[in-house]
């Protein structure tokens, strides 16, 4: 069973896919967010094509652990995702994943332009990888 990792942003949605055994995560193309219905359709197609059995989506809680507007948006989307995708959707605390992704890209020497292009998928990889490691 493959797991899909999602970093749900305002403009772009980063995606990562696990290997069938759930050990490694690799990036997928980033989705451009037009509206939620389009996102659900695209994710549904992806889940069917790739044999995804579970989804983990980053939950952007505040640094103090409270649920802000962004986290509420994700929590409100989960029942719609489960109905549309037909697989369980779990949340994962994504605090500091964007900063961690930024540090990794700076260490690699990527330009600002390349960092913008890769930051969402790298954040999705970090979310998925930490989720999978917690299950071991």
Q: Is the pLDDT of residue 115 over 90?
A: no
pTM equals 0.86
Q: 2-135 in CATH: which number?
A: 3.30.420.140
Q: Quick one: pLDDT band at residue 28, thresholds 50, 70, 90? A: very high
pLDDT attached to residue 64: 84
Does an H or E element contain 66, and which?
none
Percentage of the chain exceeding pLDDT 90: 54
Distance CA 116, CA 14 (A): 11
Could you read off the pLDDT of 32-80 as tens digits, one per residue?
A: 988 889 999 999 999 999 999 999 999 988 878 888 899 999 999 999 9
Q: What angle do CA 44, 14, 17 make, to 5 degrees?
A: 65
């Amino acid at each position: 069973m493959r797991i899909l990792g999602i970093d749900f942003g305002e403009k772009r949605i980063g995606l990562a896919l696990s290997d069938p055994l759930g050990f490694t995560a690799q990036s997928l193309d980033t989705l451009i967010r037009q509206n939620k219905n389009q996102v659900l359709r695209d994710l549904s197609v992806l889940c069917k094509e790739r044999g995804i059995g579970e989804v983990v989506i980053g939950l952007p809680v505040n640094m103090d652990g409270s649920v802000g507007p962004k986290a509420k948006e994700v929590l409100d989307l989960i029942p719609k995702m489960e109905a549309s995708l037909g697989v369980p959707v779990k949340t994962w605390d994504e605090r500091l994943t964007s900063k961690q992704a930024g540090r990794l890209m700076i260490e690699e020497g990527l330009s600002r332009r390349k960092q913008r292009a890769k930051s969402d998928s790298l954040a999705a990889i970090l979310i998925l990888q930490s989720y999978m490691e917690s299950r071991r």
